[in-house]
Amino acid sequence: MPRSASAPERFARFVAIDWSGAKGARHRGIAMAACATGDAAPALVPPPGGIWSRTEVLQWLLDRADEPMLVGFDFSFSAPFVARGAHLPGETDTRDARALWRYVDSHSDDADLGAASFLKARRGRHFYLGAADGAKRDFLHWRVCETGEDQTTKPSTVYDAIGAAQVAKASFAGMRLLHRLDRRIAIWPFDPVPDRGAVVVEIYTAIAARAAGMRKGLSKLRTPEALDGALAALGSRAHHPLARYDDHATDAILAAAWLRANAGCGDLWRPVRMSTPIARSEGWTFGVR
């Protein structure tokens, strides 16, 4: 089964990346924060060009592939498969997430690993981009990890590509990045956690917010005091002041602290509902039991 036998406790650096599926070559919606073991607050990693591009994030990771680093990305690593037996029913015969990454990448030619054209070409068939596509409820399908034991949904589905809460554009752009990381950096749970080197996992920043005591629907940190309070709840010291307190930066900082606090939790690496077929075809969000 593609999961570690015991909780990894070898990581020395923890990185969280707030991702973006926006069009273009540079994206203000991308933020990266990192921290080492201990209790010092995570700090933002400055982008080499002043504003991150997706390809710069890719290169940053590849340059550090041999480091004992746990990296969390805030996007869905796959589309639902279990519920309907296909990622894109009627179009793909992909049986695992790696095949889906390859398919998305080969059918996308957007700049900087974007995938907006992939979704637009399939609107109304697989993706909901507005009322012209029909009833939104017909597009609402989730992965197993996105449903709780009572079957209530958590994050937005990757087939819903409209609105502020949508994750579709970021997720399919992220699949293009994963295709390029594949076999070069371990991607959990598609790969077992190796004895050395970096590991990439999917995260959901709302989980970090809940762990820090923030109420559902009020999970954004827009003041220094709010950020420090949330960090303290995760065992972290106060942060260094930021030039700007936007959701991308504070989400990344809090998520990095949460990764550090939870990397050694064995049950998060061995979710009871994650079977081998689920892990292979849909993946899992680190932090969902």
Q: What is the pLDDT of residues 174-202, one digit of tens each?
A: 999 999 999 999 999 999 999 999 999 99
Q: How far apart are the first and last CA of the chain?
A: 17
Domain ranges of the chain: 13-77+184-269, 97-180
pLDDT-derived band at 28 (thresholds 50, 70, 90) equals very high
Residue 5: pLDDT over 50 = no
The edge-to-edge listing of strands for the beta sheet with 13-18 is: 43-44, 31-36, 13-18, 69-73, 199-202, 186-187
Residue 2: pLDDT over 50 = no
Residue 1: pLDDT over 50 = no
Percent of the chain with pLDDT over 70: 94
- Rounded to an integer, the average pLDDT of 46-67 is 97
Instruction: Note the pLDDT of residue 3.
Output: 41
Mean of all residue pLDDT scores within the chain: 93
Instruction: Note the pLDDT of residue 25.
Output: 92
Positive/negative CA dihedral, 279, 280, 282, 286:
positive
pLDDT-derived band at 173 (thresholds 50, 70, 90) equals very high
Residue 131: pLDDT over 50 = yes
Strand-pairing partners, residue 187, are 200
The contacts found for 136-140 with CB under 8 angstroms, 24 or more apart, are: 136/160
Please list the alpha-helical segments (H only) found in the chain: 54-63, 97-106, 116-120, 168-181, 205-211, 224-233, 247-262, 266-269, 276-281
The more confidently predicted of residues 166 and 15 is 15
Q: Which residue has the tokens 């995260």?
A: 203
Question: pTM (2 decimals)?
Answer: 0.94
Residue 148: pLDDT over 80 = no
Q: Which residues contact 142 (CB under 8 A, 6 or more apart)?
A: 80, 83, 153, 157
* Rounded alpha-carbon distances, angstroms, from residue 128 to 23, 52, 81, 120, 260: 18, 28, 18, 9, 36
Instruction: Note the pLDDT of residue 49.
Output: 85
Buried b (16+ CB within 10 A) or exposed e, 234-264: bebeebeeeeebbebbbbbbbbbbbbbbbbe
Instruction: Note the pLDDT of residue 233.
Output: 97
- Cβ atoms of 198 and 65 closer than 8 Å: yes
- Rounded to an integer, the average pLDDT of 123-129 is 97
Instruction: Note the pLDDT of residue 217.
Output: 63
